[in-house]
Structure 1
Amino acid sequence: MTSCPPHKLSSAAILRAVLLLLVVGLAAHRSAAEITCRRTVAAGVEYIEHTLPGPVRVFVIAVDRSRSEYGLRIGWPEGRRHATRWERTSEIVARYDRVPEPDVIAAVNGSFFGQPPDVIGLTASDGEILVEPHEPPRETLLWSREGALRIVAGVRPRGGAVRLADGRTLPLDHLNRRPAHLPGNALVAYTTGWGLTTGTTRPSGSRRCTTSSKPSSRRTRAKRDCCRLASRLAGCCQPRGAHSRPRTRQALS
């Protein structure tokens, strides 16, 4: 076993305080895996490389999750949710690891991606869903406030409702989901976690909502009340007809 070269860190691990890089199948091949290098990154944080038959190389950041000084943070390309291009992990790290608080210990690519800004997997932080996953939802690594780790299959928002100004409550179909991946006739809420706007061409601050060209369902009828949703929800009902595609969605103030 040898010491790992310093430059290896940038390809291995996570933003602002380290996430365990889990590799499916490592446990099954643990007996055949050879640790080719190991080094300490910070107190309670160790970088390890495994080599398996194949050849397969596995890069791991092992973290003592009992240490309270470490946390987890999502880093976006271009530093914003609705990026116009993808960036290398090292580019994202360089943006977040700046004075006055350069504190990125390690970083890892955390999801799969389509065309910018399309994130395919579930994205959540501090208990808030920022991006709903595509269908079918993929396995998701969850890290609780207590430091517990779990890998869960098929994670998606469940239940939820929108309360209108007149007191009526409607079931919510989706939360912070890319408009291009919405089914027809759906009720969707966009929160500030989604971004400053919902990504339309309308000026920021617009409170315009859209309706289907065929107002035949309860959700389409309820659309008239969409703009009276509680301001804290800052969302928009988004029913879609079989032959129409809304061109405008509510933008947040």
Structure 2
Amino acid sequence: MGVVVPWPALVLRAVAAVSALADLALPMSCASCGAADERLCPPCLADMRACLWADGPRPVAPNPAPTGLPVTFSAGRYDGALSRTVSAYKDDGRRDCRPVLGEILAVSLQAALGQPPLAHHLRDGGPVLVVPVPTSRAARRRRGDAPLEALARAACAGFTTAEVRPVAVLRPRRRVEDQAGLSAARRAVNLEHSMQVRGRSEMLVAGAACILVDDVLTTGATLVEAARALRSGGAREVMAATICATQRRARASAARP
């Protein structure tokens, strides 16, 4: 990646990028609290920074961790202004928050790239495939787009094409229930064998090193299924990166970056 920016300053830089957007049709209210004339008001920006771990992204896992969960790096806790901004981006059409959230996801991505399996792959010539978890057909119809795919591209913008390649190689293979409100066990059953590698992407995935990206780590069921699909498609290494992790279910792993 290019110049390394101090971790807390990344959010400020991202907010500056949002403020520089030329499209005046974008909403001008705080994505977190709704305050007028600010896409992220100063109190919510401060709260968002407080949700990010001061020492940077760390490996996280639910407790108990589901079998098959890839090593996952996250930048902070799903709480306060950070959780509200993630939800606003994904479900309320606040696509103007993409630069902010993309910067945060990029640092989680960088932490994953520094781990031995992927670092070795980069030294051997790379690039690492950055794979967003697929959006269900129902969610794509409801939202009108696939916000996680756009977020993955934004997170990769600061890397070279020799380092990462954002590719939407996974697709849903059957309908699933809405995950909201489901227990960890029901989420796992709901998602089991629900994803597959797109036919046209099979050669790209075979033998590849991949980083799955998602917005939030909750029970881990989505990442487990996405990782299974990539491994079934022949991926050699699979890790994951998220913006944040739920604290009521997730704990920091014993290993630290």
Same fold (TM over 0.5): no
TM-score, normalisation: structure 1: 0.26
TM-score, normalisation: structure 2: 0.26
Larger RCO (CA under 8 A, 6+ residues apart) = 2
Larger-gyration structure (1/2): 1
* Bigger helix fraction: 2
